[in-house]
Amino acid sequence: MDELLDGAAVRRWCRFAGEALGRVRVEIDALNVFPVPDGDTGTNLHLTVIAAADALDELPATADTARVWRALAQGALLGARGNSGVILSQVFRGLADVLGPLEAPPDGATLARALDHASGLAHDAVEHPVEGTILSVLADAAAACASGPSGTGLAETVRAAAGGARRALRRTTGQLDVLARSGVVDAGAAGLCVVLDVLAAVITEEFPERYEIPARAGATPAPAQEHPEPHGSGHHGPGHHGPGHHGPGYEVMYLLDAADCAVHALRETLDGLGDSLVVVGGDGLWNVHVHVDDAGAAIEAGMAAGRPHRIRVTCLHAGDGERPHAPHTGRAVIAVTAAGGLAALFEECGARVVRREPGAVPPLAVLAEAILAAGDEVTVLPNEPEVLSLAEAAAERARDGGARIEVVPTKASVQGMAALAVHDPLRRFGEDVIEMTRAAGATRFGHLEVAGQEAVTSVGLCRPGDVLGLIEGDVVTIGADVTEVARHLVDRMLAGGGELVTLIAGAHAPPALAGTLEEHLRVGRPDVEVGVYAGGQERYPLLIGVE
């Protein structure tokens, strides 16, 4: 038997682990009572590993082992779901750090060292580590394989790790009060045991008939409590909730492009907002997970540190308590914007406006209340990528009141205006949403922005004061003159076709900018209809839409 952990073995491990977690996903979900009993830990671990496996599938068959390990770690980081998924992505990164650079497949001692490094990384990523969780089971697995005699082979080492994890899993019930009350083992730790069992099976070629998930830990459950406080969390800040409290209402996750030096301040801010804080990554890309009551503040903290994207906001207690019911007042459209001129434009087109501060997102509770008060059939236009996930969470909250809510995924105000242009309250609600979504999706959007600091873009270095032209979030041109950059940007956007150009001038745009562009298009593209509006937005001198 060849005991190898090379690139091919890593690929098999990841794919088989994804399949194994898929088979036991429901059983792990049923164990999920910590940090909140949302019943999705197994699902999150499964999706995280599948994301890593998909990243490996994109590699050519000739990719070397170092590249395979990097893809495993990166795929898990980008696709991590939930608290346990984010921690597992850090485990993969720790293994990749040690095993990726090796010129030959690792022996037992090297694997033990890699697991110990992975355990340290995962522990450091969690702001308030708790015993009786995936972290303590990972630490025990690393300790079990490190304690073997010198010269222990790879198979014996991985068996020791898997066995140590299984023994530690059984102990989790006694280490964490919330698990003891429910009589279960930790769900995230159970998933980790499956991942390590699969690693042992791949290396030893001894595959079990099934991967065991303890249905119960053998303890007698205490009388039910809504959300008992975990013992020994060491966290008594704003995220602390005593008996009778439901805990933070939202799980917020996002990827963050940010300098490593900005992450310490981000951690401190998020730690003051909630709990279950995990931040993993490095080299400018981070995966952020936190449970908070103010989802908007958590997103704004990311905006202050860098560029958050792939933002997800999940209501943790969607079914808790009584919800107000939607008024039977018919159909409405809600548009989110920061600018006064844009607000007036949306209102003229028949929308109800929820205002946000420039460079910020609206409070989720305010948005949810506005949706609920609007009627029993409501379409929401977020009009910013950072607002989109908040709108989804607010819609979920409002649906509990009996309303039909749909979010059209508009990422720019010009897309929102295009959606409103085809809105017809006399159509059936579902058909109206489809038409609005189609119109928004057919609208390409761009904008001008003045650089505030030196940065490297996809088209070169920009310096403070440079004018940037962006199409759908990507910098495509840099210049010194607002009008020249605007001309180039409009021409580039029209190169792919278009019949209608919408120009929305910002508060600090040169007075003649919109008129100059209108004349430029009249001469160069007389077939194109042009609409010019005063938006009053602070940050962007010009917003552009092409339909």
What is the pLDDT, as a whole number, of residue 488? 95
- Find tokens 């068959």 and name the residue: 61
Residue scoring higher pLDDT (484 or 209): 484
Q: Which helix (H) or strand (E) holds 502?
A: strand 500-505
Mean pLDDT value across residues 334-344 = 91
| pLDDT at 240 exceeding the cut of 80 | no
Residue scoring higher pLDDT (311 or 242): 311
Q: Which two tokens stand for residue 239?
A: 């995220």
What is the pLDDT, as a whole number, of residue 36? 60
What is the pLDDT, as a whole number, of residue 127? 87
| pLDDT at 398 exceeding the cut of 80 | no
Mean pLDDT value across residues 513-522 = 93
The backbone region for 183, taken as left when phi is positive above 0, alpha when psi lies in -120 to 50, beta otherwise, is left
Instruction: Report domain 250-315's class.
Output: alpha beta
Angstrom CA distances, 321 to 349, 360, 397, 449, 495, stand at 36, 29, 12, 45, 53
pLDDT tens across 11-53, in order? 999 999 999 999 998 899 888 776 666 568 888 999 999 999 9
What is the pLDDT, as a whole number, of residue 492? 94
What is the pLDDT, as a whole number, of residue 248? 79
| pTM of this structure | 0.67
Give me the chain's average pLDDT, please: 86
Is residue 88 a contact partner of residue 47, using CB atoms and an 8 Å limit?
no
CATH fourth-level superfamily of 7-204: DhaL domain (1.25.40.340)
Residues of the chain with pLDDT > 70, as a percent, come to 89
Mean pLDDT value across residues 53-81 = 94
Domain residues of the chain, as ranges?
7-204, 250-315, 331-441, 444-546
**CATH number of the domain at 444-546, out of 3.90.79.10, 3.30.1180.10, 2.130.10.10, 3.40.50.720?**
3.30.1180.10
What is the pLDDT, as a whole number, of residue 176? 82
Q: Which two tokens stand for residue 235?
A: 């966290």
pLDDT tens across 366-388, in order? 888 888 888 889 999 999 988 88
Q: Torsion angle, CA of 103/106/107/111, rounded to 10 degrees?
A: 140
- Confidence band of 254 (pLDDT split at 50, 70, 90): very high
- Confidence band of 277 (pLDDT split at 50, 70, 90): very high
pLDDT tens across 387-397, in order? 888 888 888 87
Backbone angles phi, psi at 171, to 5 degrees: -80, -15
Torsion 77-45-188-182 (CA) sign: positive
Mean pLDDT value across residues 194-223 = 76
- Confidence band of 342 (pLDDT split at 50, 70, 90): very high
| pLDDT at 275 exceeding the cut of 80 | yes
- Confidence band of 317 (pLDDT split at 50, 70, 90): low
Q: Which helix (H) or strand (E) holds 291?
A: strand 285-292
| Of 116, 68, 58, 65, the residue nearest 91 (C-alpha) | 116
What is the pLDDT, as a whole number, of residue 100? 94
Sequence-distant (6+) residues with CB within 8 A of 295 are: 250, 252, 313, 364, 390, 393
What is the pLDDT, as a whole number, of residue 321? 47
DSSP 411-467: -SHHHHHHHHHT--TTS-HHHHHHHHHHHHHT-EEEEEEE--S-EEETTEEE-TT-E
- DSSP letter (8 states) at residue 262: G
| pLDDT at 110 exceeding the cut of 50 | yes
pLDDT tens across 405-464, in order? 999 999 999 999 999 999 998 889 999 999 999 999 999 999 999 998 888 888 889 999
| Of 502, 541, 506, 493, the residue nearest 421 (C-alpha) | 502
Sequence-distant (6+) residues with CB within 8 A of 243 are: 225, 228, 229
Mean pLDDT value across residues 478-499 = 94
What is the pLDDT, as a whole number, of residue 366? 86
Dmax over CA atoms of the chain, in Å, equals 82
pLDDT tens across 152-178, in order? 789 999 999 999 999 999 999 888 888
| pLDDT at 402 exceeding the cut of 90 | no
**CATH number of the domain at 331-441, out of 1.20.1070.10, 1.20.58.220, 2.40.110.10, 3.40.50.10440?**
3.40.50.10440
Torsion 238-242-244-249 (CA) sign: positive
| pLDDT at 283 exceeding the cut of 80 | yes
